[in-house]
A = this chain, B = another copy of it.
Amino acid sequence: MPQFENLKLDRQLCFALYSATNSITRMYRGLLDEYDLTYPQYLVLVVLWEKDGIAIKEVMKRLNLDSGTLSPIIKRLQIAGLVEKVRTDKDERIVRLLLTDKARKLQPMIADVQNQVACQTELSSEEFFELLDRLNQLAASLNNTEAKQSVAS
C-alpha cells in the first residue's frame, strides 16, 4: 500500500494513465478517420472479429463499458452497415451482434493500424509486454476492489 506526501501531478499514476490514454486515442483518431471509425467503435469490431455473433452483454464485459456507452456506439456501427442485431430465440432479451461482409472486408485493411500505434510507442517488445502485464494486473485489482470504496488507508 503506497503512501504519498502530496498532490504533485508528476507523481500521480492516475494522471499518467489518463494522459497517455488521451494521447493514444488522438493517435487512433488520425488513423481511423479514413474508415469513419472512432476508437471505441474500432474496439467493438475487434471484439467481434475475435468472436462473431456474441451478445451485447458479452461485449460490455469484454470492453468494461456499460449499456449507456455501448448502445449508441453499436447503433452507429449498425447505421454504418458494419454490424447487425439479432434477437435469440431462447431468450428474447439477448441481442447478438453479427458482422456484415463490409465489416469482414474491413479487417485486413485495419489490421495495420494497431501496429502503427505500437511503433509510435517506441517501446521494445520486452518493455511493451511488461507494461501490458502491469496494466492488466492493475485493471484486475481495480475491478476487484471497485464498489467497496471506503477501505482504510
Given contacts A12-B114, A121-B138, A138-B131, contact A24 B17 (CB under 8 A): yes
Encoded as 1 (CB less than 8 Å from any B CB) or 0, chain A from 105 to 140 comes to: 001001110111111111111011011101111110
Q: Is A104 in the interface zone, CB < 8 Å from B?
A: no
Kindly identify, within residues 13 to 44 of chain A, every residue whose CB is under 8 Å from any CB belonging to chain B: 13-28, 30-31, 39, 43
On whether the beta carbons of A121 and B146 are closer than 8 Å, the reply is no
On whether the beta carbons of B146 and A23 are closer than 8 Å, the reply is yes
Q: How large is the interface on A (under 10, 10 to 19, 20 to 34, 35 or more residues)?
A: 35 or more
Contacts of A121 in B (CB 8 A): 2, 13, 138, 141-142
Given contacts A14-B28, A15-B43, A27-B146, contact A4 B114 (CB under 8 A): yes
Q: How many copies does the complex hold?
A: 2
Q: Is A151 in the interface zone, CB < 8 Å from B?
A: yes
On whether the beta carbons of A8 and B50 are closer than 8 Å, the reply is yes
Contacts of A24 in B (CB 8 A): 14, 17-18, 142
On whether the beta carbons of B119 and A1 are closer than 8 Å, the reply is yes
Contacts of A110 in B (CB 8 A): 7
Contacts of A10 in B (CB 8 A): 136
19 residue pairs A–B, Cβ–Cβ below 8 Å: A2-B118, A4-B115, A6-B111, A7-B50, A7-B114, A9-B47, A10-B136, A16-B132, A18-B39, A19-B64, A26-B146, A27-B146, A30-B149, A116-B153, A121-B141, A121-B142, A122-B144, A127-B134, A131-B138
Known: A15-B46, A131-B131. 5 other contacts (CB 8 A): A1-B119, A18-B25, A23-B143, A115-B153, A122-B144
